[in-house]
């Protein structure tokens, strides 16, 4: 019995040490994270005087929900966001919060017509930010930039340097086939950056984002030629990251360069997860799906119409 107890203690301690060595890199489309101020962009839908009656109480509840998700994911080393209005709303997630006191922010204002951007937070006690920038591009048939920039940052952990990219490709509004050319254009811009990094220094890359495309679509297939997809299947009652028109699909993705998988300080193989925590879900018309902030103009007090995704990094 004593020998068994010793072996059990060794196993438990080993698992605890392994858990401490592992963090996550995550992505979350937070669905319309707007403040309550009238900004320069098209945010009229999210003001106290608007039909949605978006006020400070609802805004604070939304921030609290996002913190809850981050904590449930174990406080990711890095988390990319989409559908954030500005740097201020992302800063509000982590500001004056003991759990996130060491987190830094990377953000650039995008020219998106709806006034939404991408951003990322990172644990600055573990990572050194070496550089960051945005990639702005013009979609086919347009004369100026009107969509979300691609955001990138270069981090260092001890001797390991790597890139993280955050994407939010154009929506399917106007028809999937008709809008496909826009997402393919965004994919090509992302691939150009990936190719330039691989050619210049070969550093690892982690690509995060709501691509508004499924794994089998053209844009993600272009990424497949360069990076390994980590979010490929879903388990349990949820069959994707997003539920629309009575169908589940994977719109939220994480891709990793092959030279960053399975190494001593890299992404763990097959560690991609779609998080369907019970508090994120609700049953609507007999189907379990993400609990949204709004259903039409009705306030539901939920989290997002997308589920967060993550991978483990050792």
Q: Span 277-305, mean pLDDT?
A: 92
pLDDT band at residue 1 under the 50/70/90 scheme: low
pLDDT band at residue 73 under the 50/70/90 scheme: very high
What pLDDT score was predicted for residue 9? 44
Q: Whole-prediction pTM value?
A: 0.92
What pLDDT score was predicted for residue 6? 46
The percentage of the chain sitting over the pLDDT mark of 90, rounded to a whole number, equals 78
What are the pLDDT digits (tens) for 195-224? 999 999 999 999 999 999 999 999 999 999
pLDDT band at residue 14 under the 50/70/90 scheme: very low
What pLDDT score was predicted for residue 2? 57
Three-state DSSP state, 176: helix
Residue with tokens 């991978």: 311
Cβ–Cβ under 8 Å, residues 122 and 104: yes
Q: Span 96-116, mean pLDDT?
A: 95
The C-alpha atoms of residue 37 and residue 9 are separated, in whole angstroms, by 55
Top-level CATH class of 25-313? alpha beta
More confident residue, 5 or 307: 307
> With 60 as the cut, is the pLDDT of residue 7 above it?
no
> With 80 as the cut, is the pLDDT of residue 13 above it?
no
Q: Indicate the average pLDDT of the chain.
A: 91
The C-alpha atoms of residue 177 and residue 193 are separated, in whole angstroms, by 25
> With 50 as the cut, is the pLDDT of residue 68 above it?
yes
pLDDT band at residue 310 under the 50/70/90 scheme: very high
The percentage of the chain sitting over the pLDDT mark of 70, rounded to a whole number, equals 93
What are the pLDDT digits (tens) for 157-170? 999 999 999 999 99
DSSP string across 102-164: TEEEEE-----TT--EEEEEEETTT-EEEEEEEE----TT-SS--SPPEEEEEEEETTEEEEE
What pLDDT score was predicted for residue 49? 81
The C-alpha atoms of residue 150 and residue 194 are separated, in whole angstroms, by 12
The C-alpha atoms of residue 250 and residue 252 are separated, in whole angstroms, by 6
More confident residue, 308 or 263: 308
What are the pLDDT digits (tens) for 137-161? 999 999 999 999 999 999 999 999 9
pLDDT band at residue 15 under the 50/70/90 scheme: very low
What DSSP designation does 217 have?
S
The C-alpha atoms of residue 117 and residue 106 are separated, in whole angstroms, by 11
> With 80 as the cut, is the pLDDT of residue 278 above it?
yes
What pLDDT score was predicted for residue 195? 98
Helix intervals (H) in the chain? 2-21, 56-72, 87-94, 176-200, 218-224
pLDDT band at residue 8 under the 50/70/90 scheme: very low
> With 70 as the cut, is the pLDDT of residue 12 above it?
no
Cβ–Cβ under 8 Å, residues 26 and 310: yes
Report the 10 Å Cβ neighbour count for 236: 9
């Amino acid at each position: 019995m004593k020998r068994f107890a010793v072996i059990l203690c060794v196993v438990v301690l080993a698992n605890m040490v392994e858990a401490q060595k592992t963090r996550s890199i995550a992505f979350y489309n937070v669905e319309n994270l707007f403040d309550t101020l009238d900004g320069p962009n098209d945010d009229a839908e999210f003001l106290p005087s608007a039909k949605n009656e978006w006020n400070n109480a609802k805004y604070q509840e939304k921030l609290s929900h996002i913190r809850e998700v981050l904590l449930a994911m174990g406080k990711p080393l890095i988390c990319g966001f989409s559908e954030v209005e500005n740097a201020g709303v992302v800063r509000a997630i982590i500001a004056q919060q003991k759990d996130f006191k060491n987190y830094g922010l990377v953000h650039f204002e995008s020219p998106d017509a709806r006034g939404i951007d991408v951003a990322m937070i990172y644990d600055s006690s573990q990572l050194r930010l070496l550089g960051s920038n945005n990639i702005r591009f013009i979609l086919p048939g347009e004369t100026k930039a009107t969509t979300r920039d691609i955001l990138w940052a270069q981090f260092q952990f001890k001797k390991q340097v790597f890139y993280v990219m955050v994407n939010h490709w154009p929506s399917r509004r106007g028809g999937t086939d008709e809008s496909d050319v826009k997402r393919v254009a965004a994919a090509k811009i992302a691939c150009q950056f990936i190719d330039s990094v691989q050619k210049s220094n070969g550093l690892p890359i982690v690509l995060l984002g709501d691509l508004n495309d499924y794994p089998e679509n053209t844009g993600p297939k272009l990424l497949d030629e360069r990076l390994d997809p980590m979010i490929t299947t879903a388990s349990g009652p949820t069959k994707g990251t997003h539920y629309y028109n009575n169908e589940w699909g994977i719109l939220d993705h994480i891709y990793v360069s092959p030279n960053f998988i399975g190494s001593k300080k890299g992404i763990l193989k097959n560690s991609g997860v779609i998080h369907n925590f019970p508090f994120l879900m609700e049953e609507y018309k007999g189907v379990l799906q993400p609990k949204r902030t709004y259903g039409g103009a009705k306030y539901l007090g939920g989290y997002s119409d997308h589920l967060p995704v993550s991978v483990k990094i050792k």
